[in-house]
C-alpha cells in the first residue's frame, strides 16, 4: 500500500505517511490479547525476517507497511505490543486489509502493557529479526537497551530520548550494538533520500562554497489539546497525547522538528557548540498541553556558521515547510513540503524556482521507503549498520534548542551533554498506577515554559 506524500505546499495530498493509519485506533477489531509470551520455535530455516511492532499507532503501522513492501523479502509481522488494546487491534485490522499474507500474529503474540515490549522482543530471533520501536521517546532508551541485550536488530522511530540522560543511554546502547553486530536504524529518513545525498556530495565537492547559513521552516496548522475527558485516567491521557507532554515525547517541537535539526547538522557536517532561541503562545490560547505554538532556535557551530529553525503551529497563517542552505558561492534547497526530496541548486543566493542552476530528478521512492530498503539490505548482506550515535547526537542538538527556547538562556553542547536533568526519573519502573510526573492545575491545564523562570537542563 503506497502512502503518497504531500507534493507541494499548494497541492497537499490526501494523506502523508505520518497520517497513514492514524485512524486505525478507531477501526477496532475484536481481539483476544494474551499477556504471556510462548517460546518461539522456528521449525526450519526459512530466511524470513520477522518483525515485532512495539507501538501500534499510525506511525508504527506505516513503518510495518514500508518494511513489508521492501523488495528483499520474505518479511512478516510476527508480534505486536502496545499500551492500548484498542490501538493494537485497530492496527492489526488495518494492516490485514492489504498485507494479510504477511501477518503472522496470533493472539498469543499480541501483548498489552508497560512490559509488553519485552514479551514481543522475546519472540524474535537474534541476528536477523527486527524490533520496531515506534512508540514513545520517553520509553525508547530502555526498549533499545533490551533489544540490544538480546541481540535483536532495531528500527527506532524518532525521537530517541526526551532528556540528556536518555541520550547517553542511546549512545551506550549503540556502542554495545557495535560490539554485537546488531543493526540499528533510526527514523531520520531524510538521510536516506537519494536526492539529498547527491546535494551533500556536491556541497562537499565545493559547489556552494563554504557554508555559513542554513535555515529550516516548519510552519503549519495544528489542533490544540482540549480538556481531558472525566473518565480518562490522567496517566493514559498524557501518554495517548504524547506530543503534548515533555516527559512522554520531548514535546511537539522536539518530537517533530528533529528532522529539520538533523538536516541542519548534516548539511554543516558538524554538531553545534551553542543554541539560543525564542518561543511563545498566542494570546488567549485554549491549549491544555505543555506546548508553545511559536518557536525560533539558532545554533552556532565552531567556525561561527549559523543554522536556525523557524516553527509555527498556528492556523490561518503563512505556511512554509522547507530547508535551505547558503554558501559563499550560491544557495540550495535541501527539502520540500512534508519532507519531500525537492533538491535544487540556485544560481546565486536567491532561492527562487526561476533561478535554478541544477535540480534533482524525482526520487525512485520516498525517504521512508528508502530507509527500510537500506536496513533490510544491510541485514540480508550482513553489512555494518548502526545509526544510534548520529541519531542520539541529533537528539541532543534538538534538546539544546528546546532548552534554550524554554529557558531564555544560551545552552552549550557541553552543558547539554553533561546534564543530569530528567523529566521522569523512574520511567523504567512505570506501571498503570504510577502518577504522571506532571499534574494538571485546577482547570485541567498543564505547566507551560516561562522563559527566564523555566529550567530543564
The CA–CA distances, whole Å, from 417 to 10, 163, 177, 395 equal: 40, 10, 21, 11
Residue 359 cell numbers, joined: 535540480
- Indicate if 167 and 231 belong to the same structural domain: no
- Indicate if 181 and 263 belong to the same structural domain: no
Within-domain flag for 158: yes
CATH of the domain at 170: 3.40.50.720
- Indicate if 198 and 333 belong to the same structural domain: yes
What is the DSSP code string of 269-303? Answer: TS--SEEEEEEE--TT----SS--SEEEEEEE-TT
Within-domain flag for 381: no
- Indicate if 55 and 73 belong to the same structural domain: yes
Decide which of 139, 159, 190 is a domain's last residue.
190
Residue 171 cell numbers, joined: 549512545
Nearest of 349, 322, 346 to residue 334 by alpha carbon:
322
- Indicate if 169 and 203 belong to the same structural domain: no
- Indicate if 199 and 108 belong to the same structural domain: no
Within-domain flag for 386: no
Q: What pTM value is reported for the model?
A: 0.90
What is the DSSP code string of 218-276? Answer: EEE--PPP-PPPTTS-HHHHHHHTGGG-HHHHS-HHHHHTHHHHHHHHHHHTS--SEEE
Angle at 79 between CA 78 and CA 84, to 5 degrees: 150
Structurally, the chain folds into a number of domains equal to 2
- Beta strands 130-133 and 153-156, pairing class: parallel
CB 97 within 8 A of CB 67: no
Within-domain flag for 71: yes
CB 172 within 8 A of CB 166: no
According to DSSP, residue 126 is labeled T
CB 222 within 8 A of CB 252: yes
- Indicate if 213 and 179 belong to the same structural domain: no
Residue whose cell numbers read 533490510: 376
Amino acid 28: pLDDT: 37
Decide which of 190, 207, 240 is a domain's last residue.
190
Within-domain flag for 80: yes
- Indicate if 232 and 343 belong to the same structural domain: yes
**CA-CA-CA-CA dihedral for 58, 62, 63, 64, to nearest 10:** 110
Amino acid 31: pLDDT: 36
How far is Cα 33 from Cα 42, in angstroms, rounded to an integer? 22
Other Cβ atoms closer than 10 A to 52? 26
Within-domain flag for 378: no
- Indicate if 130 and 252 belong to the same structural domain: no
Nearest of 158, 203, 177, 83 to residue 378 by alpha carbon:
177
How far is Cα 308 from Cα 317, in angstroms, rounded to an integer? 20
Amino acid 222: pLDDT: 87
How far is Cα 180 from Cα 174, in angstroms, rounded to an integer? 10
Within-domain flag for 117: yes
Domain range for 41: 22-190
Amino acid 27: pLDDT: 38
Other Cβ atoms closer than 10 A to 448? 16
CATH of the domain at 424: 3.30.360.10
- Indicate if 272 and 337 belong to the same structural domain: yes
Within-domain flag for 137: yes
How far is Cα 28 from Cα 45, in angstroms, rounded to an integer? 35
- Indicate if 181 and 202 belong to the same structural domain: no
Nearest of 161, 440, 457, 443 to residue 290 by alpha carbon:
440
The CA–CA distances, whole Å, from 444 to 90, 245, 285, 314 equal: 29, 14, 14, 22
CB 276 within 8 A of CB 409: yes
- Indicate if 182 and 52 belong to the same structural domain: yes
Rounded mean pLDDT for each run of 10 residues along the chain, 457 residues in total:
32 38 39 38 70 97 98 96 98 97 98 98 97 98 98 98 98 98 98 98 98 97 94 97 98 96 98 98 95 97 98 95 98 96 98 97 96 98 97 98 98 98 97 97 96 95
Decide which of 145, 164, 190 is a domain's last residue.
190
Residue 403 cell numbers, joined: 532548552
Amino acid at each position: 500500500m503506497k502512502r503518497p506524500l504531500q507534493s507541494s505546499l499548494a497541492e497537499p495530498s490526501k494523506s502523508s505517511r505520518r497520517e497513514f493509519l492514524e485512524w486505525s485506533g478507531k477501526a477496532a477489531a475484536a481481539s483476544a490479547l494474551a499477556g504471556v509470551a510462548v517460546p518461539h520455535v522456528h521449525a526450519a530455516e526459512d530466511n524470513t525476517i520477522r518483525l515485532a511492532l512495539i507501538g501500534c499507532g499510525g506511525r508504527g503501522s506505516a513503518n510495518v507497511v514500508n518494511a513489508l513492501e521492501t523488495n528483499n523479502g520474505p518479511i512478516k509481522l510476527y508480534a505486536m505490543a502496545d499500551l492500548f488494546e484498542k490501538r493494537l487491534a485497530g492496527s492489526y485490522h488495518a494492516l490485514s486489509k492489504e498485507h494479510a499474507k504477511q501477518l503472522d500474529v496470533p493472539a498469543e503474540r499480541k501483548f498489552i502493557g508497560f512490559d509488553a515490549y519485552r514479551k514481543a522482543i522475546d519472540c524474535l530471533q537474534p541476528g536477523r529479526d527486527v524490533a520496531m520501536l515506534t512508540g514513545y521517546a520517553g520509553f525508547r532508551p530502555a526498549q533499545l537497551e533490551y533489544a540490544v541485550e538480546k541481540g535483536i536488530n532495531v528500527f527506532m522511530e524518532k525521537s530517541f530520548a526526551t532528556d540528556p540522560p536518555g541520550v547517553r543511554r542511546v549512545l551506550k546502547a549503540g556502542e554495545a550494538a557495535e560490539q554485537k553486530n546488531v543493526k540499528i536504524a533510526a527514523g531520520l529518513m531524510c538521510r536516506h533520500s537519494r536526492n539529498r545525498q547527491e546535494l551533500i556530495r556536491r556541497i562537499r565537492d565545493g559547489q556552494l562554497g563554504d557554508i555559513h547559513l542554513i535555515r529550516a521552516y516548519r510552519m503549519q496548522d495544528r489542533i490544540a489539546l482540549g480538556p481531558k475527558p472525566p473518565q480518562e485516567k490522567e496517566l493514559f491521557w498524557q501518554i495517548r497525547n504524547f506530543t503534548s507532554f515533555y516527559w512522554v515525547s520531548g514535546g511537539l517541537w522536539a518530537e517533530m522538528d528533529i528532522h529539520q535539526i538533523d538536516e541542519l547538522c548534516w548539511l554543516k557536517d558538524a554538531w553545534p557548540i551553542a543554541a539560543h532561541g525564542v518561543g511563545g503562545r498566542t494570546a488567549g490560547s485554549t491549549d491544555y498541553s505543555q506546548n508553545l505554538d511559536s518557536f525560533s532556535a539558532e545554533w552556532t557551530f565552531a567556525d561561527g556558521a549559523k543554522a536556525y529553525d523557524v516553527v509555527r503551529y498556528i492556523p490561518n497563517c503563512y505556511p512554509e515547510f522547507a530547508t535551505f542552505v547558503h554558501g559563499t558561492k550560491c544557495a540550495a534547497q535541501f527539502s520540500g513540503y512534508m519532507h519531500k526530496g525537492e533538491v535544487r541548486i540556485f544560481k546565486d543566493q536567491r532561492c527562487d524556482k526561476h533561478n535554478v542552476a541544477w535540480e534533482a530528478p524525482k526520487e525512485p521512492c520516498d525517504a521512508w521507503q528508502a530507509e527500510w530498503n537500506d536496513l533490510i539490505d544491510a541485514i540480508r548482506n550482513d553489512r555494518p549498520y548502526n545509526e544510534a550515535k548520529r541519531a542520539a547526537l541529533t537528539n541532543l542538538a534538538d534538546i539544546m534548542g528546546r532548552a534554550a527556547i524554554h529557558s531564555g538562556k544560551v545552552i552549550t553542547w557541553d552543558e547539554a551533554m553533561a546534564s543530569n536533568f530528567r523529566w521522569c526519573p523512574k520511567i523504567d519502573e512505570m506501571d498503570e498506577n504510577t502518577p504522571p510526573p506532571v499534574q494538571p492545575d485546577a482547570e485541567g491545564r498543564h505547566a507551560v515554559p516561562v522563559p527566564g523562570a523555566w529550567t530543564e537542563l
